[in-house]
Amino acid sequence: MNMSDIIQQKITAALAPTEFDVVNESHLHASHMDTSRNNTHFRLTIVAEKFEGLRPVQRHKLVYGILSEEMPSTIHALALHLKSPSEASS
């Protein structure tokens, strides 16, 4: 299972998102990373009810906690775009 699949599985199980997108952006960072590690930088867009009422920092901490086993040993960087359903619909 590749890292995108692991992220997808863990986030889906923990947050039951209504929208979810994982983009591997590792190729954009080849100039400053070991090129043999091609699953290190990801952009996540997540819409989940569990984000309702949480501040952005709390949302980030929640996602980092879900992926704590992969951070920082495998995942080097995450770009997070996190919204509640009410924010996504407006």
d(CA 18, CA 85): 8
Give the total number of structural domains in the chain: 1
Helical pair 3-15 and 56-66, crossing angle rounded to 10 deg:
120
- CATH assignment of the domain containing 23: 3.30.300.90
Q: Does the pLDDT value for residue 37 go beyond 60?
A: no
Domain limits for position 26: 3-31+39-89
Nearest alpha carbon to residue 80 among 34, 15, 1: 15
The pLDDT value given to residue 15:
99
pLDDT tens string 53-75: 999 999 999 999 999 999 878 88
Q: Given pLDDT bands bounded at 50, 70 and 90, which one contains residue 79?
A: very high
At 31 the pLDDT is 55
